[in-house]
Amino acid sequence: MTTSGTAAGADEPAPSDQTHSLVVVRGLAKTYGAIRALRGVDISFRRGEIHGLVGANGAGKSTLIRCLAGLEQPDEGAVLVDGRVTHIQGPADAADLGFAFIHQELNLVKSFTGAQNIMLGSHQGSMLSPRRFGGVPQAVLRAARRVGIDFPLDVPVFELTVHQQWLVTIARALVEDRVLIAMDEPTASLDAQEAAKLLEVARELAASGVAVVFISHRIDEVTDVCDRVTAFKDGSVSLALPRTEMTRESIVRAIVGHGVTPGAGVTAFDSTERARVVLSLQGVGRGRTVRDVSLALHEGEVVGIAGLVGSGRTELARLIFGADRPHSGTMVLDGKPYRPRSIPYAVKRGVAYVPEERRSEALFLTHSVEDNLHITVWDRRRISRWLPLIGPRSSRAAADDTCRALGIKTADSRSPVVGLSGGNQQKVVMGRWLATAPKILILDEPTRGVDVGARADIYARIREANESGSAVLVISSEFEELLECNRVLVMAEGRIVGELTSDEITVPNMLHLCYA
C-alpha cells in the first residue's frame, strides 16, 4: 500500500503504545467560522477491531470521518497511516490508502443503476457511464449478497426505496478489499433484519483484519458489536474505553456530560390544560420508521420533536403532510377523520411543511422569489376565476411586501431564488406557507445552514404563526432550539419515548431519553 499525499515527516515514528494501529490521529482540530468542530482529537484505529464512536449531534464524529475521507482538511494535527504522517488531500487519496466510507447522506447517482453505483466504489468505477456496463460483475454480486440485497440491480436507483438505496451505498463500500471501513450511522435507515445483517458484516470485516469505524446513536449496537468505544462531546474526546469496561451508563454520561436519573423531570402532559386539539394521531405507523405514534397538537401551541439520526422524526412529518401514507393508525384533523392521500390534499386542509432539504424539496431554483412565494396562493392572485392569469402588479407588490416583512434580502423579487443566501431561501419557503395561514405548520430543521441573523428572523416567524393560532411542530437536531417550546416529544427507533414540559425541557433530559 502506498502512502498518499506528501510524505512530509514520513520518518516520524508512531507512538510506542500505538505501533500496531493502522491509523493514528494526533491533535486534530477543525473550525467552521466560530464553531470548533474538532478540538485537538487524539484517537487510533486498529486492524481487526471495531471501534465505536458515539456522541450527540454535532459532537465532532462525522467531522473526524470527513477529514479521514479527504472531504475536509483539518486546521491542525496529523494523521499517521502505518506509522507515517499522511496528507489526505481528497477522496482519491483515501481510496488509494484502502479506506472506504459510508456517510450519513445518500450520495448515489440517481440515473445510474444499483450495480453501476456499487461499481463506483471500485477503481474501475470511474470508467462507467449509463450506456456502458452491460452485465453485473461478480465483485458487485458478492458485495450485494454480503449485505442481503435481494432486489434488482439493473434499474435506476431513483426507482428504489430509501432502504434499498442505503443497501446499495453500503455494498459500494464493500466491492473491493479495504483496510479501513468507516460506517457513519449505517443502520439508521435499515429495518431490524437489515441492521442485524450489517452488524454481522462488520464482525466479518474485523475478523478478516479490516479496521472498522462504527458510528451509531444506538448504544445497544455499540456495546454489542464494538471492541472499543470513544465518546465525543463538543469536539473533544470525553471517554475512551475497551469492551471489557464499557457500560450503557458510562457511555450516556460521557455523551450528556453528567449523570441523569432515569425518568427525572419527565411528566405526562395534561391535554385539558391546553386549547382545542387541532390534530391527533393514534397508533400511527409505517414500517419500522414510524411505530405506534400517538400525539395531540393544540391550537396556538409550539411542540418540538427531538431525536437522533434515524429516529423517525422526518418520516412522521411526511405522513402528516401526505408525502407518504401510514400503514396503520388513525389521524383526526379539526374533529374529522384525516387520511391525506397526497400533498395537495393536506395543503387544502391547512397543513404546511417546510422540509429539511429546501433546495431540492421546496424551492424552484430557476424561478423568481415572487413565483416561489406565491406558488401556494396562486389562485388568490388570479385576475379572474375563469382565467389562469395573475395580475402582475398586485403579485409583485404582494411579493415586495412579504420580502420587507420577512427581511428577505433581494435586490428584486423578480430575481431567481437560487441567487439568495441559504437563510433568505429559508425565509422564502416559510413566507410561502405562512401566506396560507396554516392550521398545522411543520418545520423540519428550520435553521439548518443559516446565519445568526436569519435564525432570529425565522424564530420571529414561528412566534407569529403561533400567536395567530397555528399549531407549530418543530423538528431540530440542535436541541437548544427546542428549549422555548411548550412541549418536547422525544423520538427513538420510530417511537415517541418521552414527553417533556415546562422546566423539564432541558438538553440533558432530551439526550437521556434519546439513549434510554
Residue 429 included in any domain = no
End of a domain among 199, 225, 256? 256
Residues 4 and 91 in one domain: yes
Q: How confident is the model over 90-110, as pLDDT tens digits?
A: 999 999 999 999 886 677 888
Say if residues 489 and 308 touch (Cβ distance below 8 Å): no
**Confidence at residue 121, expressed as pLDDT on a 0 to 100 scale:** 65
**Confidence at residue 12, expressed as pLDDT on a 0 to 100 scale:** 41
Total count of domains within the chain: 3
Residue 19 above 50 pLDDT?
A: no
Residue 282 above 70 pLDDT?
A: yes
What separation in angstroms does the CA of 350 have from each of 147, 254, 322, 364, 372? 42, 43, 12, 22, 18
Residues 167 and 21 in one domain: no
Residues 241 and 300 in one domain: no
Residue 488 included in any domain = yes
**Confidence at residue 332, expressed as pLDDT on a 0 to 100 scale:** 97
Residues 90 and 114 in one domain: no
User: What's the CA gap between 235 and 60, in Å, rounded?
Assistant: 5
Give the least confident one: 31-40, 282-291, 378-387, 505-514: 378-387
Residues 243 and 293 in one domain: no
Which CATH number fits the domain that encloses residue 249? 3.40.50.300
Residues 79 and 113 in one domain: no
Residue 302 included in any domain = yes
What is the average pLDDT across 206-223?
89
**Confidence at residue 316, expressed as pLDDT on a 0 to 100 scale:** 95
Residue 387 above 50 pLDDT?
A: yes
What is the average pLDDT across 79-89?
95
Residue 400 included in any domain = no
**Confidence at residue 192, expressed as pLDDT on a 0 to 100 scale:** 67
Residues 106 and 93 in one domain: no
Residues 131 and 43 in one domain: no
Helix count and strand count (H, E) for the chain: 16, 22
Say if residues 212 and 246 touch (Cβ distance below 8 Å): no
Domain with 157, as residue range(s), is: 99-177
Report residue 41 as a C-alpha cell.
Answer: 482529537
Highest mean pLDDT among 60-64, 134-138, 452-456: 60-64
Q: How confident is the model over 153-187, as pLDDT tens digits?
A: 989 988 887 778 888 988 888 888 889 999 888 87
Q: How confident is the model over 303-360, as pLDDT tens digits?
A: 999 998 778 999 999 999 999 999 999 999 999 999 998 999 999 999 999 887 766 6
Residues 1 and 89 in one domain: yes
**Confidence at residue 454, expressed as pLDDT on a 0 to 100 scale:** 64
Residue 29 included in any domain = yes
- Burial class for 247, CB neighbours closer than 10 Å (0-12, 13-18, 19+): exposed
Residue 133 above 50 pLDDT?
A: no
**Confidence at residue 278, expressed as pLDDT on a 0 to 100 scale:** 94
Q: End-to-end CA distance of the chain: give it in Å, rounded.
A: 43
**Confidence at residue 432, expressed as pLDDT on a 0 to 100 scale:** 82
Percent of the chain with pLDDT over 90: 37
Residue 339 included in any domain = yes
Residue 432 included in any domain = no
250: region left, alpha or beta (phi > 0 left; psi from -120 to 50 alpha) = alpha
User: What's the CA gap between 151 and 160, in Å, rounded?
Assistant: 9
Residues 89 and 112 in one domain: no
- This prediction's pTM: 0.60
Residues 136 and 75 in one domain: no
Residue 373 — pLDDT band, cuts 50, 70, 90?
Answer: confident
Residue 283 included in any domain = yes
